[in-house]
Amino acid sequence: MNKQAFFLGCVIPLRFPGIEVAARRVFRQLGIDCVDLEGYSCCPEPVVLGLTDREMALAMSARNLALAEKAGADLIVLCNGCYETLAEADHVLRHDEPMKARVAELLASIGARYEGKIRIKHFIEFLHDDVGLERITKAITRPVDVSLALHYGCHLFRETTHPDTWRKPRMMKSLVEAMGARCVDYGLEQLCCGFPISQFDKNAALKERLLPKLKAVSTTNAEALAFCCPACLNQFETGQGGVGDLGVDVARYPCVHVLELLALSLGMPAAELRLDFRSGSTKEFFECFWG
Amino acid sequence: MTSEAIRRLLEQRLTKARLASGGKDQRRVSVELDAGDIGEAVRALPQDGRSRFVTIVAVDKGLDIELLYSFSLDGVLVTLRTSVQKETSTIDTITPMVPGAAFIEKEISELFGVEFAGHVRRANLVLPDDWPTGKRPMRKPLVGDVIPQARASVENLLSGGTSIRVGPSSAVKREKAGLSKVPPLVSTNDDQMQEFKDLLARTGFDKRAGFDWKKGKLRYK
């Protein structure tokens, strides 16, 4: 049986280190020994970079997978985008013979190889399936007594082996509810946050994606938005200010990551999350509920 | 000479060139070479009058200007293919060996901005005399395959292994959070970083993207 390694990605360790702290704390507290994947690179990012050059993107992903396989580690991926990139690369390398041969040749040029012996799991599905909700619930000491609107993120719906694209989003909801939170329905849970569009047209992303979601959430009693993707979280946390600049009056919400909530519910002090790096409303939310 | 004989001759005489096979068309030979070897390549063709100069075709490829020198040799079209980077846009003239190339070199020079070093004509040949200096009507802006929205990410990726730059502010944040200053990225190990760069170079992405490894930047903004 393989050990586990975190695939940290770029955004969490470089922009939201508090989420990395939370991840390490959660897994340690649940008794899961996760090592670091030494020498990893960008996954690479699936939208802009992934579409820039397919061969480059697959080679880079395959290198990351090869590193994990050499270390004898399954990957627990903390970011939705990284999960999609790595899971899809693994799928291509198992089923697309010409591309598999080409990538094998490229890896061989640096003395690496990938044989598809590892599992790639989103942290949501690892916690749900491998750890189990019962074990998590038993470990919780400070239930999350808040009403949350969930934003799943587009890449959480990606499946390479299961036909049910709602499989992981349902897991996220179950996990959040296991922490004691109430998940409110707002009808636009599946709508994209607009991050890819914002690379081309910031205003369109705000008007066509963020604003409809915020308006829908504002019809509920949600106290915050919960995410499992750092890019989506960043889009909302920074984008809500942009919506204000458009002159639109809509409620603004604190943006929290599932791992942050889980770490707090397992007893981690809020100060260890380094909330001074986050938006004012998010910081106030955490301090209000967890001191 | 048959195309096969021409290929063998050029393979013997041009050790640095890359000869493409004729494929289905047995009356074509294509030779790929560096711009600095164009003179040697022209001299490698038989000099007994059978190598008839046809033309030079210029193709603006975005980052470089491709130049295709065509010669007819015993009914076989021999094409010497080379490129000049737009930043320098210079190649030696072949007019000392092929005086008939004077017209087309001047036309390419005026329309695409390629300087054929040693070409003697100064005045415009195809453009009006009062045409603005430096304005090349057939020359497109310097640009590669990477869309503007991806350029910063590509530069960060190729120079450091991540799409987001690992900078001092992230190190400060991480230290304050009780983490290592830098996550265990490929950039923290010189050998692994070199392997990573080698891997990307083997995909040819650096060339398609127009990445300058020395400067750590794309050749265009």
Q: Which residues of A touch B174 (CB under 8 A)?
A: 13, 17
Please answer yes or no on whether A20 and B199 come within 8 Å at the CB atom. no
Q: What is the residue whose two structure tokens read 């290929």?
A: B7
Residue A248 burial (C-beta neighbours within 10 Å; 0-12, 13-18, 19+): middle
| Helices A167-178 + A258-265 axis angle, to 10 | 30
CA-nearest of A11, A105, A13, A12 to A58 is A105
CB A89, CB A60: distance < 8 Å: no
Q: What is the pLDDT of residue A278?
A: 83
The alpha carbon dihedral of A60, A64, A69, A75 has a sign of: negative
- Stated as kind and residue range, the H or E segment containing B41 is helix B38-44
What angle is formed at CA B168 by the lines to CA B162 and CA B169, rounded to 5 degrees? 90
**Beta-carbon count within 10 A of B214 CB:** 5
B46 touches chain A (CB under 8 A): no
What is the band of A56 on the pLDDT scale with cuts at 50, 70, 90? very high
Closest residue in chain A to residue B152, using alpha carbons only: A49
Q: How far apart are CA B48 and CA A60, in angstroms?
A: 53
B positions 101-160 inside 8 Å of A (CB): 145-147, 149-150, 153-154, 157
Q: Which residues of A touch B (CB under 8 A)?
A: 8, 10-11, 13-15, 17-18, 20-21, 36-42, 44-45, 48-49, 52-53, 55-56, 59-60, 63, 106-107, 109-111, 199-200, 272, 274, 277
A291 pLDDT tier (thresholds 50, 70, 90): low
Report pLDDT digits (tens) over A131-171: 999 999 999 999 989 999 999 999 999 998 889 999 999 99
**From CA A128, how far away is CA A133, in angstroms rounded?**
6
What's the mean pLDDT when you consider all of chain A? 93
Please write down the long-range contacts of B84-90, taking CB distance under 8 Å and 24 or more positions apart: B84/B35, B84/B114, B85/B219, B86/B113, B86/B139, B86/B142, B87/B142, B87/B219, B89/B65, B89/B113, B89/B114, B89/B115, B90/B35, B90/B114, B90/B115, B90/B117
Q: d(Cα B162, Cα B156) in Å, to the nearest integer? A: 6
Contact between B28 and B79 (Cβ < 8 Å): yes
| Calpha distance B182→B196 (Å, rounded) | 18
Q: Name the pTM for this structure.
A: 0.89
Nearest-neighbour CA in chain B from A257: distance (Å): 16
Please state which CATH number belongs to domain B3-117.
Answer: 3.30.460.80
Q: What percent of chain A has pLDDT over 90?
A: 79
Q: Do B164 and A59 touch (CB under 8 A)?
A: no
- Can you give the pLDDT at residue A289? 74
Provide the token pair at A30: 């649940």
Mutate to test the interface with B, among A10, A63, A195, A268 (most CBs of B within 10 A): A10
How close does chain B come to A254, measured CA to CA in Å?
20
Write down how long chain B is: 221
Distance from the A64 Cα atom to the nearest Cα atom in chain B, whole angstroms: 10
Residue A177 has pLDDT above 70, yes or no: yes
CB pairs under 8 A between A and B: 111
Neighbours of A71 (CB within 10 A): 18
Tell whether the model's pLDDT for residue B25 goes beyond 80. no
Question: Is the Cβ of B184 closer than 8 Å to some Cβ of chain A?
Answer: yes
| pLDDT value of residue A283 | 85
Please report the pLDDT score of residue A17 as a whole number: 93
Residue A242: closest CA among A279, A275, A188 = A279
Q: What angle do CA B104, B105, B109 make, to 5 degrees?
A: 115
Confidence of residue A284 (pLDDT cuts 50, 70, 90): confident
Q: What is the mean predicted confidence (pLDDT) over A241-266?
A: 89
List CB contacts (< 8 A) between A63 and chain B. 196, 199
Position A269 confidence tier, pLDDT thresholds 50, 70, 90: confident
Confidence band (pLDDT; 50, 70, 90) for A243?
confident
CB contact under 8 A, A49 and B189: no
Between the CA of residue B154 and those of A277, B161, B220, what are the distances in Å? 26, 9, 12
CB contact, 8 Å: B185 with chain A?
yes
What is the structure's pLDDT at A221?
Answer: 96
ipTM field: 0.89
Residue position matching structure tokens 């919780």: A140
Across the interface, whether the CB atoms of B163 and A52 are under 8 A apart is answered: no
Average of per-residue pLDDT across A62-90: 96
- How far is C-alpha B16 from the chain's CA centre? 16
What are the structural domain ranges in chain B? 3-117, 148-218
Q: Is B23 exposed, middle or buried (0-12, 13-18, 19+ CB in 10 A)?
A: exposed
Chain A contact for B199 (CB, 8 A cutoff) = yes
Q: Label residue B103 exposed, middle or buried (CB < 10 Å: 0-12, 13-18, 19+).
A: middle
Nearest 5°: phi and psi at A255?
Answer: -115, 120
- Token pair of A116, please? 């598809």
Report the pLDDT value the prediction gives residue B22, as an integer from 0 to 100: 59
pLDDT digits (tens, 9 = 90+) for B102-129: 999 999 999 999 999 999 887 889 999 9
pLDDT confidence band for A1 (50 / 70 / 90)? low
Inform me whether the pLDDT recorded for A49 exceeds 90: no
pLDDT of residue B112: 97
**pLDDT at res. A273:** 82
| Closest residue by Cα to residue B78 from B17, B150, B152 | B17
Residue pLDDT, tens place only, B74-91: 999 999 999 999 999 999
Mean pLDDT throughout B170-197? 94
Picking from A79, A88, A69, A8, the residue whose alpha carbon sits closest to that of residue A40 is: A8
Residue B39 banded pLDDT, cuts 50, 70, 90: very high
Position B23 pLDDT exceeds 70 = no
pLDDT at position B138 is: 96
pLDDT in tens, B128-180: 999 998 899 999 999 998 999 899 999 999 999 999 888 898 999 999 999 99
List residues bridging with A122 in a β-sheet: A77
pLDDT above 70 coverage of chain A, percent: 99
Distance between terminal CA atoms of chain B?
48
Token output for A196: 């890819």
